[in-house]
Amino acid sequence: MTTQTDLTQTPISQATDSQAPAQASVLKNLDAVRAMIKRHKLNDYIFSVIGLLALMMALLTLLVLFGDLVIDGFTRFNLQFLSEFPSRRAANAGLLSAWVGSALVMLVTFLVAVPMGVAAGLYLEEYAPKNWFSDLIEINVTNLAGVPSIVYGLLALGLFVYILGLGQSILTAGLTLGLLILPIVIVSTRESIRAIPIAIREAAYAVGATKWQVVYDHVLKYSYGGILTGVIIGMARALGETAPIITIGALTFIAFLPPSPLTEVAPFINFEWLSSGFTVLPIQMFNWLSRPDHAFHINAAATGALIIIVTLLMNGTAIYLRYKIRKNIKW
């Protein structure tokens, strides 16, 4: 022990004896270094505060936004608001035609986007050969996701409304929004399929399954949760989309309900509602918002709060689902 301490002490004592001025400068440098370290640590600290503030700003906005809508629209939160048609008098106006319209449009959107999106995702992941043709489809899907929503509105106006003669109907709106969220469904389908290990497919092939049996019984079933997540996020997006539906020229003052999809006599289903005029929640909100009268702004706020609650619930469910799936599935 003693020899060890001696050994370590010797060079230091030597240094103090023979190199006193040099050591002073080292000490001075040491102070400078310490000051520098301190400065950098301070920088670190300052940045972490700024970073937190920046992040908070983004998140607080959501809170302020929601709070603002709830405070402004507070007086309109009652069941009457949901059961009345729009009216010229702000206090009597309600959302009945808007939420029914939204629900029906979403139904069409779902029926368009989900089968097509899932099928396209399956094809691209499981079937598509690696060639220029598949690359072309891939690039297309990526680009479609970046096309502004209003351009889909122009497509719908030119193609669905006039060339195909579908008019400004629920069917047109549903088809438009269906195409709009198609890339979202395709991408989420592909991502969840990609997570399934190749061994699962090989095992199924080994016992003689055909490609479709593998895809349908295994690939599709195991990627179900991931696809559902994408579908919910896509539907939430469709619910809030305003621009494409305005562009197809949807009427903004609708004081009637589309014919009911379910009837009391056989065959219990009718399709008249598909060609009916309609309004949806965001359009109704835009309509009220663009009036100069402040009383209508209150209605707009209440509608906005409702849209936010529904979309947040949908997106929240989707994010939670994805989190659960990631946690639970271990291949």
Partner 1 sequence: MSAVVQMINQPVNLTISPRLAKNVGRNIKERIIEFILMLAALSAVATTLSIVAILLYESLSFFKTVSIVDFFTDTQWTPLFEDAHYGILALVSGTLTTSAIALSVAIPIGTISAIYLSEFASHKTREIVKPLLELLVGVPTIVFGYFALLFLTPILQKFFPDLPGFNMLSAGIVMGIMIVPYIASLAEDAMRAVPMAMREGSYAMGATRFQTAIRVVTPAAISGIVAAYILGISRAVGETMVVAVAAGQQPIVSFNPMESAATITAYIVQVALGDLPHGSIGYQSIFAAGLVLMIMTLFFNVIGHMIRKKYREHY
> How many CB atoms within 10 Å of residue 295?
12
Q: Which of 96, 104, 236, 254 binds partner 1 (CB under 8 A)?
A: 236
Q: Which stretch binds partner 1 (CB under 8 A): 35-43, 78-86, 102-110, 270-278?
A: 35-43
Question: CA distances (Å), 31 to each of 11, 16, 26, 35, 37, in order?
Answer: 22, 18, 9, 6, 10
Please give the Cα distance from 26 to 252 (Å, whole number). Answer: 79
Q: Is 61 in the site for partner 1 (CB under 8 A)?
A: yes
Q: Does 263 bind partner 1 (CB under 8 A)?
A: no
User: Does the protein bind partner 1 through residue 229 (CB under 8 A)?
Assistant: no
How wide is the angle at C-alpha 48 spanned by C-alphas 43 and 52, nearest 5°? 150
Q: Which of 70, 82, 107, 159 binds partner 1 (CB under 8 A)?
A: 159
Residue 104 vs 185, nearer CB to partner 1: 185
Q: How far is the CB of 322 from partner 1 (least distance, A)?
A: 9
According to the binding rule CB under 8 A, does residue 311 interact with partner 1? yes
Residue of 14, 115, 256, 293 that binds partner 1 (CB under 8 A): 115
Pick 102 or 273: Cβ nearer partner 1: 102
Q: How many angstroms separate the CA atoms of 180 and 174, rounded?
A: 10
Token output for 47 = 């940045």
The answer to whether residue 41 forms part of the interface with partner 1 (CB under 8 A) is yes
Examine residue 321 and tell whether it contacts partner 1 (CB under 8 A).
no
297 binds partner 1 (CB under 8 A): yes
Answer yes or no whether residue 325 interacts with partner 1 by CB under 8 A: no
Q: Which of residues 73-112 bind partner 1 (CB under 8 A)?
A: none
| Residue 129 contacts partner 1 per CB under 8 A | no
* Pairwise CA distance, residues 147 & 158, whole Å: 17
Residues 71 and 73: their CA atoms lie apart, in Å, by 6
Give the pair of three-digit tokens for residue 222.
């195991």
Identify which of residues 195 and 261 has a Cβ nearer to partner 1 in the complex.
Answer: 195
- Tokens, residue 105: 């449009």
- Which of 93, 239, 254, 274 is the binder for partner 1 (CB under 8 A)? 239
- The verdict on 55 binding partner 1 (CB under 8 A) reads yes
Q: Total residues contacting partner 1 (rule CB under 8 A)?
A: 90
**Ranges of H-type helices in the chain:** 2-18, 20-73, 79-83, 96-122, 132-146, 149-155, 170-194, 198-206, 211-214, 220-222, 224-240, 243-247, 281-289, 294-328
Give residues 161-220 in contact with partner 1 (rule: CB under 8 A): 162, 179, 182-183, 186, 210-212
